[in-house]
């Protein structure tokens, strides 16, 4: 409720409360004190009306489960095959609706292809949430894709951003080969991004902030040579670099990374700016994350289009929780075109990416297949 006090009504209020006349010095001091308090109340009331808690942070808190452990940094994907499924998605008419995925920024390429109205990135590691907060801040600060990757890798931002809008992704990759910014400039960039992340409203510890800083510096130091890393062992020979993933092609030989075209990048940026890419800490077989997303989609009248599970199903089956995942998946509203995208790894070899209709998966599981 707003608060309005005229000078006259304030004087009458003070006079009534302390029994003083207008020319009494004590009366004048009390009047000033009450006027200041009234102005503060008005300002706070206005703030309460115009700046409610950010829904983005509230949704993360409501949907997330306790942090879990996995033995990888997962700053980038180890799935060279991740774009193979794009033609399949197009042929199946997988478009719009809701997207759910796991892991880092390969999700953005699927989002650019599917064009959902909302996306959830669900991962057992809180570190993945922190990584996506970094990505979100970069999308907020960058106007174009060349500026985005320059900020991500700590390289100088080109002066003529407009001239880069039609550039090939190969030219962008070549630009990123230049040396990183100096220490002072990196410090200023980190401070700028940390400020943006604080405005998202997500509660972060000092350790969280330090982790985000460490992740960003890994991109800056690794450049296009950055690879997926597993704790306790070096990257495998078949793991792609960031540069490999950037230039990779789909199953029909076309480049499909979200940074290939300005239009694809701008779609992902617009979804980020609408708080439509929501990172969630959760196990796919857990008790509340997917269930909560399902309830939220029903409330919004949305249906699932694509569920990128990577190779998480392998681990769920290994630890005996796959049936709970199937139960969670079955409760998410979907169309008959909804698909699951998965990656299959052979021993000591690279990945193969495939799709399967969600309804087919559920019916086959129910039949014991």
Asked if residue 239 has pLDDT above 50, the reply is yes
Strand order in the sheet with 304-310: 277-281, 118-123, 98-101, 304-310, 334-345, 351-357
Give tens-digit pLDDT for 183-197. Answer: 999 999 999 999 999
Asked if residue 244 has pLDDT above 60, the reply is yes
Asked if residue 206 has pLDDT above 60, the reply is yes
Residue 60, CA atoms < 13 Å, CB-side half-sphere: 25
The tokens describing 130, both together, are 């922190």
Give tens-digit pLDDT for 103-117. Answer: 999 999 999 999 999
- Could you give the CA distance from residue 107 to residue 257 in angstroms, rounded to a whole number? 10
Q: Which CA distances in Å does 333 have to 119, 154, 284, 294? A: 14, 41, 16, 6
| DSSP assigned state of 195 | H
Q: How would residue 52 be classed by pLDDT, with cut points 50, 70 and 90?
A: low
- Residue in 258, 318, 351, 307 with CA at minimum distance from that of residue 97: 307
Q: What is the mean pLDDT of residues 249-257?
A: 96
Strand, coil or helix: what is 100?
strand
Task: Give pTM, 2 decimals.
Answer: 0.84
- Could you give the CA distance from residue 19 to residue 5 in angstroms, rounded to a whole number? 19
| Residue ranges of domains in the chain | 7-50, 55-366
Q: Which helix (H) or strand (E) element contains residue 202?
A: none
Parallel, antiparallel, or unpaired: how do β-strands 118-123 and 277-281 relate?
Answer: parallel
Q: Which CA distances in Å does 179 have to 132, 134, 146, 185, 236? A: 25, 21, 15, 13, 26
Axis crossing angle, helix 126-141 with helix 262-273, rounded to the nearest 10: 110
Q: What is the mean pLDDT of residues 43-68?
A: 71
Checking phi first, is residue 58 left (phi over 0); if not, alpha (psi -120 to 50) or beta? alpha
Strand, coil or helix: what is 356?
strand
Q: How would residue 79 be classed by pLDDT, with cut points 50, 70 and 90?
A: very high
């Amino acid at each position: 409720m707003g608060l309005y006090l005229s000078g006259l009504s304030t004087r009458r209020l003070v006079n009534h409360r302390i029994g003083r006349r207008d020319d009494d010095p004590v009366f004048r001091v009390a009047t000033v004190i009450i006027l200041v308090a009234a102005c503060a109340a008005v300002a706070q009331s206005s703030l309460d009306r115009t700046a409610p808690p950010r829904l983005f942070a509230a949704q993360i808190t409501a949907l997330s489960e306790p942090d879990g452990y996995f033995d990888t940094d997962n700053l980038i994907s180890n799935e060279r095959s991740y774009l193979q499924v794009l033609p399949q998605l197009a042929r199946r008419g997988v478009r719009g609706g809701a997207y759910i995925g796991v892991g880092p920024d390969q999700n953005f390429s699927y989002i650019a292809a599917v064009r959902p109205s909302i996306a959830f990135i669900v991962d057992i590691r809180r570190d993945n949430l922190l990584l996506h907060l970094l990505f979100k801040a970069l999308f907020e600060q960058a106007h174009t894709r060349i500026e985005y990757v320059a900020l991500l890798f700590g390289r100088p931002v080109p002066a003529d951003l407009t001239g880069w809008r039609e550039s090939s992704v190969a030219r962008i990759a070549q630009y990123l080969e230049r040396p990183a910014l100096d220490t002072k400039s990196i410090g200023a960039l980190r401070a700028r991004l940390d400020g943006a992340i604080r405005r998202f409203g997500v509660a972060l510890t000092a350790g969280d902030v330090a982790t985000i800083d460490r992740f960003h510096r890994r991109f800056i130091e690794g450049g296009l040579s950055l690879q997926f890393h597993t704790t306790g062992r070096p990257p495998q020979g078949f793991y792609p670099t960031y540069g490999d993933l950037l230039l990779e092609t789909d199953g029909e030989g076309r480049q499909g990374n979200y940074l290939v075209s300005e239009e694809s990048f701008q779609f992902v940026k617009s979804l980020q700016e609408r708080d439509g890419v929501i990172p969630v800490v959760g196990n796919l077989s857990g008790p509340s994350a997917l269930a909560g997303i399902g309830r939220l989609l029903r409330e919004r009248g949305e249906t699932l289009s694509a569920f990128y599970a990577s190779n998480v199903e392998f681990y769920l089956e290994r630890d005996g929780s796959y049936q709970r995942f199937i139960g969670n998946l079955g409760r998410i509203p979907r169309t008959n075109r909804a698909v699951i995208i998965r990656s299959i790894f052979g021993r000591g070899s690279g990945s193969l990416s495939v799709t399967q209709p969600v309804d087919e998966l559920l019916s086959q599981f129910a039949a014991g297949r």
